Amino acid sequence: MPLKKFAKKIKQLRNHEVRSLTDKSCELVFYFEDIHQWNEIFTAEFGSPIKKEGAPLPENERHWISNTGGIWEDQTLFGKIVDDGVMIAKFQPWKDGVHVTLKLLLLKK
């Protein structure tokens, strides 16, 4: 599924702020209390998370984040191979316990 098409689908969910939406990336902020709903949509589209919040990224999965600046312990990572390359999504909970930043990226092959 192209990134913009998927981004439009998730923009229909309740969110706090849409920061950017391009052909290669989408960044928005949603509410932590809705994280179950966001996880359901991403699991349906991407499959199970490659890395769950609080868990380490398995060594054999490091290729997913090699061009994205890494991943933090508190982040969740989803990844999917698509026709255009690789689509990844990172959920980054804020320290306030209220918000989560979503970074959705399309990395060309």
Domain boundaries, the chain: 3-108
User: Quick one: pLDDT at residue 1?
Assistant: 53
Element (DSSP H or E) covering residue 27:
strand 25-31
H helical segments located in the chain? 3-11, 35-46
Tens digit of pLDDT for each residue in 82-104? 887 888 999 999 999 999 999 99
Q: State residue 23 phi and psi, 5-degree precision.
A: -65, -20
Q: Report which of 48, 51, 47, 76 is spatially closest to residue 61, judged by C-alpha positions.
A: 51
Task: Give the predicted TM-score (pTM) of the model.
Answer: 0.86
